[in-house]
């Protein structure tokens, strides 16, 4: 099963990227994510354990995701009930406060039983996942731009919100057809710190 979604957002690319990268916060706004824990994180890679619990599904998975802030994050499965689970997020800055997001996921469960039991529910989750990230990004205040190359701080695991949390998501603001030209690169970082003066005599 291949899922593809694109959308335009009136937000900085780095703001949406930081929400996508921070898997430890997924239980706050993804109703199907019952728990999340960062296994490792640096400027080039983030690995996380996720518990998926929704509509009769209940399983754990681990992904190991190479990344390049604020434009790209790959999705690679390390363990979980899938024969294949590969994807990517691409974010293209269009202006200091606008970006295009493109998401692709190619997956297949590792057994016919899982495909039959969990397949339809998981398809609905993946079909609405980009909209869930967009809704959360729009509802989250945009912080001051961080310094170029700064990695998000690691955080502890976050448990799922209380049962009964709303799972409706807003549609993306606009959909861009495949082949759209990328626009300008993201705004640069602030001025560098002044060089130290000569040593005292």
For the stretch 50-106, pLDDT in tens is 999 988 889 999 999 999 999 999 999 999 999 999 999 999 999 999 999 999 999
Q: Is residue 32 in some structural domain? A: yes
Q: Is residue 196 in some structural domain? A: no
Q: Is residue 189 in some structural domain? A: no
Tell me, what CATH number does 98's domain have? Answer: 3.30.530.20
- Residue 142 CA to residue 194 CA, distance in Å, equals 28
Q: Is residue 168 in some structural domain? A: no
pLDDT for residue 10 is more than 90: yes
Cβ(60)–Cβ(51) under 8 Å?
yes
| List of residues 6+ apart from 183 with CB closer than 8 A | 92, 93, 94, 95, 100
Give the containing element (helix H, strand E) for 119: helix 112-139
Using alpha carbons only, what angle is made at residue 132 by residues 123 and 4, rounded to the nearest 5 degrees? 50
Q: Is residue 149 in some structural domain? A: yes
Q: Find residue 128's DSSP bridge partners.
A: none
Q: Is residue 179 in some structural domain? A: no
- Residue 91 CA to residue 96 CA, distance in Å, equals 13
Which band of pLDDT confidence, cut at 50, 70 and 90, is reported for residue 44?
very high
First-last CA distance in the chain: 70
pLDDT for residue 187 is more than 90: no
pLDDT for residue 194 is more than 90: no
| List of residues 6+ apart from 120 with CB closer than 8 A | none
Q: Is residue 187 in some structural domain? A: no
**138 token code pair:** 């729009």
Cβ(60)–Cβ(80) under 8 Å?
yes
Which band of pLDDT confidence, cut at 50, 70 and 90, is reported for residue 138?
very high
Number of structural domains (the chain) is 1
Q: Is residue 17 in some structural domain? A: yes
Structural domain boundaries enclosing 108: 2-159
Cβ(106)–Cβ(84) under 8 Å?
yes
- Residue 102 CA to residue 88 CA, distance in Å, equals 8
């Amino acid at each position: 099963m291949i899922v593809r979604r694109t959308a335009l957002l009136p937000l900085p690319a780095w703001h949406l990227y930081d929400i996508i990268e921070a898997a430890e916060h997924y239980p706050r706004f993804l109703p199907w994510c019952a728990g999340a824990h960062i296994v490792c994180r640096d400027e080039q890679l983030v690995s996380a354990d996720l518990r998926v619990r929704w509509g009769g599904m209940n399983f754990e998975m681990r992904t190991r995701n190479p990344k390049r802030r604020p434009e790209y994050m790959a999705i690679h499965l390390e363990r979980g009930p899938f024969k294949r689970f590969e994807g990517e997020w691409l974010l293209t800055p269009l202006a200091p406060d606008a970006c295009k997001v493109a998401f692709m996921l190619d997956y297949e469960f590792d057994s016919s039983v899982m495909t039959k039991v969990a397949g339809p529910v998981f398809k609905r989750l993946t079909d609405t996942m980009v909209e869930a990230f967009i809704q959360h990004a729009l509802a989250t205040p945009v912080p001051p731009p961080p310094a170029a190359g700064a990695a998000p701080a690691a955080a502890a695991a976050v448990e799922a919100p209380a049962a009964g949390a709303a799972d409706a998501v807003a549609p993306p603001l606009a959909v861009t057809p495949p082949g759209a030209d990328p626009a300008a690169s993201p705004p640069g970082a602030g001025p560098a710190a002044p060089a130290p003066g000569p040593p005292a005599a």
